Structure formats: C-alpha cells, structure tokens
Homo-oligomer: A and B are copies of this chain.
C-alpha cells in the first residue's frame, strides 16, 4: 500500500458513507446530500432525445470516443460556455466524468507529494479528498460573506517560502458556504493573483442555478473576466443542470496545461462515457437545456426561500447564515466552541439528517458549523424538518 492508502483519510470517508446511507433511509428527512431532486430530472426530454437518436448516433454512443470528448459535444458545450461569457477560444476543453474528475486530473498534473496548495475554508469535500490523495499540503484561507478573504490570502501568499501549486476556489454558490463572490472580490482576487505564476482552479458547478436574473452579472466567472498573466483552470459539470448519473463534467484550461491533463485522463479511463455524451450533446443542441434550467431554477428558488423563511422563524439568534441567492446550500454558523456533531446526533434521533461543518474543513478542526441542503427536499418537508434541526441546536447550545 502507498503512504496515502495507509493514511487515516478513510476514516472520514466511511463516516460520510454512513451518513449518506442514513440519508436515504425511508422516513428520514435529509438535508445532507448535494444531489438534485429525483422528481426534478428531465425524463420526458430524455425520452424524446433517446427516441430520436439515429442508428449512427447510437453506434457512437456505444463506442470509445476521443480522450478529450466527442467532437459534437465539445462544439455544443463550447457554444454554451461562450454564451456565458467564457473564453473558450484561447483554451482547450476536455470532457471528464464529473467536475470532480477534472479537479482530480488537475491535482495529478500539479501536485507532487508534499507540495503546498491553497483552498478556501470551508471547501468542497470532493476536492479536498482529491488533493489529499496526491498528498498535497493543504493550506486554507477563510471565506467571508462576499468572497475569499483577500487580505488573509495576500498575507498567506507573501509569507510562503515556496509558491503553492495552485489556488482552488468556488466563487459562485459555494459548496458548502452558499455564498457568492462579489464582483469587487473577484476583481481584487484577479489583481492579487496576476503575475505570481500560480494558476487558479475555478470550480463552477452551480452558477446556472441562480434565483434572480439580476444576479447574472455578478456571477460572471473569473475565467471570463479581464486579466493578464494569470492562468485560470475552469471546471464545470452537467450534474446539477441535467443529472449526475450522466457522470459528465469538463475542464476549460490553457493549452500547456491541457496537454498534461489529456495524458492523465488517458491513463485513468481513456475517455468519458460516449453514451451519456451523446445525450448531453442533444440537450445542448435542442436548447432543451435552457427551458429545463428555467424550470429547475424556479423550483430550487421555492425550496431555498422556504428554507430561509423556516430558519429565520426557528433559529436561535446566535446562529447566523448568509441567505443563499442560488445553488443548493445554507451554511449555519454556530457559536464558537460548539461541536455540530452533537447536534447531528440529536437531529438523527429526531429523524433529520444534515452534514456537520467539520467535514468541509481541510484540517478537520472547525466544528461549529452545519450545512443544510434544500435541493432534494420538497417545500412541505423542509417546513417539517428545519424546526427539528433548530430544536436540536437549541438543545445543545441553549435557547
């Protein structure tokens, strides 16, 4: 076994697995998962797409494809991303099995054992696992309500004896923090990072899931913003905008980084599933993706607002949170010294499950937070479950 495999990382992994199996137990109310609602999948659209596939397209679906992805999907996805303002032309696109694989491949391309990297705290658990699997030395910088703490990041960068291999961030509808980087924060970040020869990995799985049209300008990705002398490796996913079961995401990265990533992808699984690539391509080309997105945005907004309202009505005043304006998550900040695991145990006894915040801390020490998701729970169930969470909080932390 490798030094990594011998490590302790599997302890947390099995805890998460237990939690997830609990979360799907009949009768339990789950705010734990980050998966779209089963009831929201575009099944009718899927049927129409499947039944209109030609024999030739089905053959393509069953065959190996190029490592970088099927040419037709690369084309339609490029158009989709360009419409969002992304700079596709100067970069290369690669289809991956979810954006997690894109992040994993980038980690493999950049990290030798013991190399420093910088992430936000809290951060996406999947990315943390990927970075740990290559034995990165993870350094974290706190998040504020309007983005990454620029001053803390500056101090960190200026104090490091050797350059970190990259900075990994999730500027839009952060998982788990639920926040959005403000436009000013994005600009300040670019300014800070320019000319340092440290690439930024911008993870963007949620930016299409905004509640308010007027936020679109703020959600403009860092990859699409003016900058000089700064490599941005952009990752995205079909998981939240069609379905995770397709297992498709992408990276959009500068050519010199792409070449290494293609080689790594080739050694992992040769190519992504052609079958689901053919389906995703049709979603994009028929514009079904846009009507579907309108539909789910509406539904996630209903669920999100219901959860916000319910939390406001039931939370003790010492618990704070940033109201989400899109995405899947709300991050509840508990008083210093609280161990959210105690609250989780009580909540489970009462039939409700969520994820305790320590899961998203790369150093596994910050215990006073809770992530609740509204993506996979109907409004009436949210209204039933959130008071239970609040009750459990009060039982542990006081009224």
Contact = CB atoms under 8 A, between A and B. Distances in A.
Interface of A: 1-5, 9-10, 13, 17, 33, 35-36, 38-39, 41, 43, 46, 50-51, 55, 58-65, 67, 96-98, 100-101, 104, 108-113, 126, 129-130, 132-133, 239, 242-247, 259-260, 262-264, 266-276, 279
Contacts of A97: 97, 247, 268-269, 272-273
A13 B266 contact: yes
Copies in the complex: 2
Contacts of A39: 59
A24 to B, nearest CB: 10
A275 B260 contact: no
A272 B247 contact: yes
A274 B101 CA distance: 16
A277 B87 CA distance: 35
B273 A273 contact: yes
Nearest to A2: B112
Contact of A2 (B3, B62, B111, B243): B111
A267 B132 contact: yes
B247 A271 contact: yes
Contacts of A263: 5, 9-10, 13, 129, 133
Contacts of A10: 259-260, 263
B126 A267 contact: yes
B260 A245 contact: no
Given A1-B110, A100-B269, A247-B271, A133 B264 contact: yes
8 contacts: A5-B108, A13-B262, A41-B63, A46-B58, A62-B243, A104-B268, A133-B263, A246-B273
B244 A62 contact: yes
A289 to B, nearest CB: 14
B267 A65 contact: no
B43 A62 contact: yes
A270 B100 contact: yes
A60 to B, nearest CB: 7
Nearest to A41: B62
Contacts of A3: 112
A5 B266 CA distance: 13
Contacts of A60: 245
Nearest to A56: B38
Among A4, A260, A267, the one with the most B-chain Cβ atoms within 10 Å of its Cβ is A267
A360 to B, nearest CB: 15
Contacts of A274: 244-245, 247
A65 B21 CA distance: 11
A236 to B, nearest CB: 15
Nearest to A134: B2
Nearest to A60: B245
A13 B111 CA distance: 21
B276 A63 contact: no
Q: Lowest 6 CB-CB distances: which A-B pairs, in order?
A: A62-B243, A245-B274, A247-B273, A129-B267, A5-B260, A41-B62
Nearest to A6: B260
B9 A38 contact: no
Nearest to A58: B43
Contacts of A46: 58, 62
A55 B43 contact: yes
Contacts of A55: 43
Contact of A110 (B2, B98, B242, B269): B2
A9 B235 CA distance: 25
Given A101-B269, A130-B268, A269-B104, A63 B50 contact: no
A272 to B, nearest CB: 7
B62 A269 contact: no
A260 B1 contact: yes
Contacts of A242: 62
